[in-house]
Copies of this chain bind each other. A is one copy, B any other.
């Protein structure tokens, strides 16, 4: 049973919403908003996905992915993130330019292609935004990153990811000369508005609003 481009997009949306909502079931409206679609359209599609046993669905309650559905979601996410690595590392796209292209490439159907692409890219574990890449069995690294807005003063962190993937946000980080893997020293925290003064890579100083800091993910810097 082959999944269509459209079905794959619904499955991916449900996966992302499950991640966001944690325990709660994903509602028709959640999906409709996420995909900019009418709730009636979503009801039709979830009936079809339910018939195919890719989601479990209880009328008026919501949906959740079955094991089979989750495996498909992870496979699409794997393909999306591998293609993003290719676009940035090999074709020299900027990290804020790759999302829409990867959104198309993720639907190319060839197991062999993805295996070879993975090897060609030296089996990367993270995409250009720091998101973990599932392996061919759907397993991915669990990263204990925290938001920079909850970080402590006088401590050094490593910039490991973002929780906002919008072009504008990514471009802004680029103007700060902040890239994945850079060290971030917190020099001071403004009690009033939560803004931060930081030092990037022990070199240059920058100011971050709480709003920006909240979407920057970091993990503590371990000195060996």
The docked-state distance in angstroms from the alpha carbon of A109 to that of B101 is 8
Q: Which residue of chain B has its CB nearest to the CB of A109?
A: B104
CB under 8 Å from chain B, chain A span 96-155: 97, 100-101, 104-105, 108-110, 112-113, 116-117, 120
In the assembly, how many copies of this chain are there? 2
Is there an interface contact between B104 and A108, defined as CB atoms closer than 8 Å?
Answer: yes
Contact of A101 among B90, B97, B110, B120 (CB under 8 A): B110
| A92 sits at the interface (CB 8 A) | yes
| A93 sits at the interface (CB 8 A) | yes
The docked-state distance in angstroms from the alpha carbon of A29 to that of B58 is 49
| A91 sits at the interface (CB 8 A) | yes
Q: Which residue of chain B has its CB nearest to the CB of A107?
A: B104
How many A residues face the partner with a CB closer than 8 A? 18
The docked-state distance in angstroms from the alpha carbon of A93 to that of B110 is 12
Contacts of A104 in B (CB 8 A): 108-110
Contacts of A92 in B (CB 8 A): 116
Contacts of A117 in B (CB 8 A): 91
Contact of A90 among B93, B97, B120 (CB under 8 A): B120
In the complex, how many angstroms separate the beta carbon of A86 from the nearest chain B beta carbon? 10
Is there an interface contact between B113 and A91, defined as CB atoms closer than 8 Å?
Answer: yes
15 contacts between A and B (CB under 8 A): A87-B113, A90-B120, A91-B116, A91-B120, A92-B116, A93-B112, A93-B116, A97-B112, A100-B110, A101-B108, A101-B110, A104-B108, A104-B110, A105-B105, A105-B108
- 17 further A-B contacts with Cβ under 8 Å, apart from A93-B112, A105-B108, are A87-B113, A90-B120, A91-B113, A91-B116, A91-B117, A91-B120, A92-B116, A93-B116, A97-B112, A100-B110, A101-B108, A101-B110, A101-B113, A104-B108, A104-B109, A104-B110, A105-B105
